[in-house]
A = this chain, B = another copy of it.
């Protein structure tokens, strides 16, 4: 791992990353997109990350500068080769009407 001088290194921030079918999610600390990708491979047992996309709308996050604009606890979906982002399912349970 890369060791940056104190003061130059961005701080570790929390993110949430799910696999493509959202069956597994992990909270992960990372200071950069590269750092996050490395830790995602470890945490989710993925060998080859094809893309890291925003959970909410599938926006691909490819660059460090865009990554640094994201707020803490931004939710990602990690895609492996051949996988595509799908919209998150929102279940609403409504009271039964008589």
A24 partner residues in chain B, CB cutoff 8 A? 60
Contact B95 A65 (CB under 8 A): no
A35 partner residues in chain B, CB cutoff 8 A? none
User: A16-B57, A69-B14, A72-B69 are known contacts. Are A63 and B29 too (CB-CB below 8 A)?
Assistant: yes
Minimum distance in angstroms from A55 CB to a CB of chain B: 10
Name the prevailing secondary structure of the A interface residues. Answer: loop
Q: Kindly report which residue of chain B lies nearest to residue A29, judged by CB atoms.
A: B65
A89 partner residues in chain B, CB cutoff 8 A? 93
A28 partner residues in chain B, CB cutoff 8 A? 63, 66
Which of B59, B69, B72, B95 lies in contact with A26, CB distance below 8 A?
B59
